[in-house]
Structure 1
Amino acid sequence: MKNLKYYLAAILAFSIWGFFSLVLKPLHAYASLDILFYRVFSCALIMLVISLLFKRQKIKENIALFQALPLKNKRNMVWLNVGGSILLTANWFSFIYVMNHVSVRATSVAYLVCPILTTLLAYFLLHDRLNRLQWFSVALSCVGCVLLSYTSISNMFFSTIVGLSYACYLISQHQNKGFDKFIILNFHIVLAALILIPFYPSFSGPLPTDFKFYFYVEIIAVIYTIIPLFLNLYALSGISSSRVGMILNINPIIAFALSGLVYHEPLGILQIFAYGLIFLAVIVFNIKQRIN
């Protein structure tokens, strides 16, 4: 059962994200870019303060570890983390836009597509091995997503963009080993903030004055960004990208339930059947997996 803690970390991370709409929907009146700006800037500030107060020794150790790497490994590590920051920024913006300007259900579909993309990318790029039953589960997921696309091609397009950006992030960070996960996440978020700063003066709206905006942004920053991303990186250090990708289906299943029960988005028989197929695919993928 030595890998149980990594599975639990992944399950908790994606369960938290499943309830993201509860704190994001109240901000639907604000522009997606404004939410993104303040979310990233807040996360960067919080993590920098934590690192400088409690992680100074770890920072020194990680800098020494990086300096000891061969030149080629240094370059790979830099590109790995710079690329991770860019992918995270793209995923956050696309997710917020789709959630508040397309539909909650479209974001749930995005994270149904994401496990398929993650599994396929892990197979071709990381050489993760899949058995016949797992390939069958991937095929079931594909059929479910195709059925969902019939209800709205445009929604499927937006869902694929969101899902692909996060799938690429998962794959890239599976190779990001040997360094403190909190420091790595801190680097990703601070770099994301630096990427966004030049765009802030031209693309941000008026400075929000409503306390509600900052209240929800801080909840998003801590509970829906820092904590689940840290748990996600921790899970990737112990189990394969394809398994983390399939566990990710917890997120859209919760979001799917909320879209109907809380936001009363219309739900057809075809959609129910498609989600049922994908849920079955998750069970099939893990049916003979043993947490060892």
Structure 2
Amino acid sequence: MNRNRRLAGIGFGLLAYGMWGFFPLFFRQLSDVSPMDVLSNRAVWAFVLVGLLLTLRRQWPMVVAVFRTWRQLAMLSVAALLIGTNWLVFLWAVANRQVMASSLGYFLTPLVNVLLGLLVLKERLNRLEWLSVALALLAMVNEIVALGSLPWVSLVLATTFGTYGLVRKQLPVDAISGLWLETLAMLPVCGLYALWQARHGHAVFGGHDLRTTLLLISAGAITALPLMAFAAATQRLDLVTVGMLMYINPTLQFLTAVWIFGEPAQPARLLSFGLIWLGLLVFSGSAWGKYRQPA
């Protein structure tokens, strides 16, 4: 039974990270729509579809309980700001052929989590973890020297997603209820943006052809589905396995950028990726060693 449960967890994990990894392929189909328009539609349709899921699963009492706690509502609003910024920058990166930079950002996320644990949660780092952080910093220095500027796409994606994970970790709210509340917090911003665009003669939620409309509606669905699969995976697997599976997402994004979108793989950028991969290998070795130690 445990073996079947573990296999099911790996299957859910592969589904979640596989979907996230192929997000650039999906959102490239919407490259003619502005990133903020896509974000607004994504938030609205995710809000509607997740609301239907909450109704089917009869989980509304869990949502109502959150509304009684101002601290949780405030933290979810912060989480919404972080994940909304992450979505917006990712969409911009896809539309502007910067998928390799977004891949680097998601590779950096676990190491950002290590730094946040050190700075915010006052966790202690062992030598291997310090080495992994040093390799990541070296990769960023290489990026700055090679590009002549800060790799802002990678840094924003890694920082927002890492900080989002830190905020959500401290909230006792399940994934589905949390996503509905986060999209709810995004709606006022999306609504104001839509009104501003309407004054300039642009319809954010309409005026598209049938194909584009269906893709925008689907964006809400593919926002919820991998999150549900990820939640199912974390319920069945240990954190080390979940962490190792996480590298599937940026790896698929990297391969998509090079093999499908034809983004140039400059030697300097490949060196940055090499340093990050080495850092992740060192970090994973440290995590596995901690997992193997008796409690």
Normalising by the residue count of structure 2, what TM-score does the alignment of the two structures yield?
Answer: 0.81
Aligned equivalents of 1:140, 1:8: Cα separation in 2: 31
Query: How far apart are residue 201 of structure 1 and its match?
Result: 1.9
What one-letter code is carried by the residue in structure 2 that aligns with 1:197?
G
Question: 1:46-70 CA distances to partner (integer Å, 9 max, x unpaired)?
Answer: 1112222x133x3225535875xxx
| Contact 1:111 1:248 (8 Å CA) reproduced | no
Query: How far apart are residue 213 of structure 1 and its match?
Result: 1.3
Partner of 2:155: 160
Query: How far apart are residue 252 of structure 1 and its match?
Result: 2.2
Partner of 1:29: 32
Partner of 1:70: none
| Contact 1:108 1:256 (8 Å CA) reproduced | yes
| Contact 1:106 1:159 (8 Å CA) reproduced | yes
Greater CA drift, 226-235 or 133-142: 226-235
Query: How far apart are residue 138 of structure 1 and its match?
Result: 2.0
Gaps of 5+ in 2: none
Partner of 1:261: 259
Matched residues, percent identical? Answer: 23
Query: How far apart are residue 144 of structure 1 and its match?
Result: 2.2
Report 1:191-206 matches (<5 A): 191-203=185-197, 205-206=202-203
Count residues in correspondence: 281
Task: Give the SS at the match of 2:37.
Answer: helix
Aligned equivalents of 2:272, 2:65: Cα separation in 1: 50
Question: 1:215-261 CA distances to partner (integer Å, 9 max, x unpaired)?
Answer: 322333222x1123345566778877x99778644322221111110
Q: Tell me whether 1:119 sits opposite 2:114 in the alignment.
A: yes
The verdict on how the C-alpha distance between 1:64 and 1:40 changes in structure 2, with shifts beyond 3 A counting, is closer
The verdict on how the C-alpha distance between 1:159 and 1:65 changes in structure 2, with shifts beyond 3 A counting, is closer
Normalising by the residue count of structure 1, what TM-score does the alignment of the two structures yield?
Answer: 0.82
The verdict on how the C-alpha distance between 1:86 and 1:211 changes in structure 2, with shifts beyond 3 A counting, is same
Q: Tell me whether 1:218 sits opposite 2:203 in the alignment.
A: no
Query: How far apart are residue 169 of structure 1 and its match?
Result: 0.6
**What is the aligned counterpart of 1:189 among 173, 183, 188?**
183
The verdict on how the C-alpha distance between 1:283 and 1:184 changes in structure 2, with shifts beyond 3 A counting, is same
Report 1:1-292 matches (<5 A): 12-52=15-55, 54-56=56-58, 58-61=59-62, 63-64=64-65, 67=68, 74-101=69-96, 103-154=98-149, 156-177=151-172, 179-203=173-197, 205-206=202-203, 207-223=206-222, 225-232=223-230, 248-288=246-286, 289=288
